[in-house]
Amino acid sequence: MSEPQANPAKLFVGNLPWSMSLSDLESLFSQYGELGDFIIITDRVSGRSKGFGFVTFVNETDAAKAAQELNGKEVDGRALVVNVARPPVRRERREYSNRRRDY
C-alpha cells in the first residue's frame, strides 16, 4: 500500500478565529481563485470550531498565491497559519480494556 501524496491545491488553515463561519472562510479564500472545497473542523460533541480547517482550490497556482498572501494575515486579532496540507496518515487502532492487570 503506497503512502498518500500531498495535494498542492489543498491548504491547511490554522489559528482561525472562533467566530469564523464557512461563508467567512469562503469569501476570504475565493478572492484568490475558484474553490473546490472548504471546511472548518468542529468538535463532535459541542459542535464548536477547533480553530482550523482546510481549503481546496481548483488550481494549484491559486492555492500557492493564497498561502503566500494569507499566511500570517491577521483576522479578528489572530494571525492565520496557511500552508499546503500534509496528506492524512493512517493510524493503527488500539484496543483498550477496562480489565485490571496484575503485574
CATH number for the domain that contains residue 49: 3.30.70.330
Is 55 a member of any domain? yes
Q: How far is CA 61 from each of CA 29, 35, 64, 74, 87, rounded to the nearest angstrom?
A: 13, 12, 5, 23, 19
Q: What is the pLDDT along the chain (103 residues), one digit of tens a residue?
A: 556 678 999 999 999 999 999 999 999 999 999 999 999 999 999 999 999 999 999 999 999 999 999 999 999 999 999 999 998 877 777 776 666 656 5
Q: How far is CA 51 from each of CA 13, 36, 42, 58, rounded to the nearest angstrom?
A: 9, 21, 8, 24
The number of distinct structural domains making up the chain is: 1
Is 101 a member of any domain? no
Is 3 a member of any domain? no
Compute and round to an integer the Cα radius of gyration of the chain.
17
Confidence (pTM): 0.82
Domain extent at residue 63: 10-84
